[in-house]
Amino acid sequence: MGSEFTNQEIQQVLDEEKVKYEYIDDIPLKIAELIQNNLVIGVLQGRSEIGPRALCNRSILANPTYKENLDKVNKIKRREYWRPLAPVIAQEYYHDIVDAKQYSPFMLIATPVKKEWKEKIPAVVHVDGSCRPQSVNSQQNQIIHQALINFKKLSGTPVFLNTSYNLDDEPLVDSPKDALKTFFRSKLEALIMGNYFITK
């Protein structure tokens, strides 16, 4: 429902800000590879969300299989250490991972994580064994869904850690300029905007 930016508009901002970048054809594969390499990345894709949750169009994504990524991402965002972070799960594997009767496309429910998955995705499991999941399919978000499928091929896990793309003193990023500003004033390790890949 919110703002959207073309590759041309994104490139114009990158050039104006004199930021080095690389054009990537296969963005879902690049996202999966970055997360497999345990980088914490910012993502700006498609229209910005309106509502209480980041649904992967303006998100920070990380590898949920490393427990320490909970602390790492909370430190990047300058959040309290005890605050949980949420998983985004490829819809076809959703019921294998969480004990929920319904899908959760808007990340608005809490549900237990199944026993066999608690140790596989510790960065997104709260102390009581629950999580606040987002289910995603190819109609909702083709790029992130395919990235999750690619990540499953690489790691066996169709899950990313997902949180909103902002720091503690900021609203959610909206534009490429917002995304760059937050990227360079944080310890985020990579940024994907449209088809462009940016590092520090």
pLDDT digits (tens, 9 = 90+) for 46-82: 999 887 788 999 999 999 999 999 999 999 999 999 9
Length of the chain in terms of residues written = 200
Q: Against a cut of 0.95, is the pTM above it?
A: yes
**pLDDT for the residue numbered 53:** 82
**pLDDT for the residue numbered 37:** 98
Q: Report residue 38's pLDDT band, with 50, 70 and 90 as the boundaries.
A: very high
Helix (H, G, I), strand (E, B), or coil: what is residue 184? helix
**pLDDT for the residue numbered 51:** 76
Residue carrying the six token digits 């709260």? 126
Mean pLDDT along residues 23-51 = 96
pLDDT at 22 over 90: yes
Could you tell me if 192 and 41 are in contact, meaning their C-beta atoms sit under 8 angstroms apart? Answer: yes
- As a whole-number percent, the residues of the chain with pLDDT over 70 amount to 100
CA–CA distance, 200 with 188 (Å, rounded to integer): 9
CA–CA distance, 89 with 107 (Å, rounded to integer): 10
CA–CA distance, 190 with 39 (Å, rounded to integer): 7
pLDDT at 123 over 90: yes
What does the DSSP 8-state code read for residue 173?
P
**pLDDT for the residue numbered 52:** 75
Q: Report residue 1's pLDDT band, with 50, 70 and 90 as the boundaries.
A: confident
Helix (H, G, I), strand (E, B), or coil: what is residue 139? coil
